[in-house]
Structure 1
């Protein structure tokens, strides 16, 4: 007999995965979200662009641990509209974390990050190229 742990949100998770197959972005209502990320390699650095609309700089934390870049934070967004005949409140919240394994040729000491118009850009400079090939004489 196979025992499985009861998960009351399993059906919601399965439905969310089904919508993502059709490229319909679905955010979890359980207090988490996954920001979209673009990565690119330039001549002198790697670039990681993270879409974080509504996230304040103070709510973002960037660490490097065991050659893994960790970007994490929390989004708290609330918009209120009060009119004569209606009242509307829209909120969006949740924690996020994205991790990226860094290549060996990066300068960890000089990684920089900046935010502009809801996009966080992390610049990871490359180290100067080391000797790529060396022939070893057998004695």
Structure 2
């Protein structure tokens, strides 16, 4: 279930667009809120994996922070396309900020987390701590 923040001015803008027949440009707060990349999580035998779709975002614009047992991934995109032709001039700009926090399981090895990006996908690998192989029975006296 997707939770959308309530914006009381959206209804006014909808009525205004119906009355005047023109769409208003969304304000920057609404544009920022629409940047929600896909996130896939999976658990392997030796590690947990996070795959986050961040097309067009440079690795310098991605920040990963670990505080206590929470991993926060933050990214910002700035896209500007400019077209100059004889009879027209057009600029399209898209921007937004993404931030998501993941609570790590107790067996996560937070000292050896690895992150890499390739083809617009950020992959974060969180190794699992080795479990003790031998169990030992302790005699109760």
Can you list the C-alpha shifts for 1:50-104, whole angstroms capped at 9, x where unaligned? 1111211111110111211100121111111222233222211111101111111
Task: Work out which of the two has the higher radius of gyration on C-alpha atoms and give 1 or 2.
Answer: 2
Mapping of residues 1-139 of structure 1, within 5 Å: 9-10=7-8, 12=10, 29-32=30-33, 33-130=35-132
TM-score normalized by the length of structure 2: 0.71
3-state SS of 1:100 partner: strand
Unaligned stretches of 5+ residues in structure 2: 12-28
Aligned residues: 119
Structure 1 segments, 4+ long, off by >4 Å, are 133-139
CA apart distance, 1:11: 5.1
Q: Choose between structure 1 and 2: higher helix proportion.
A: 2
TM-score normalized by the length of structure 1: 0.72
Unaligned stretches of 5+ residues in structure 1: 1-6, 14-27
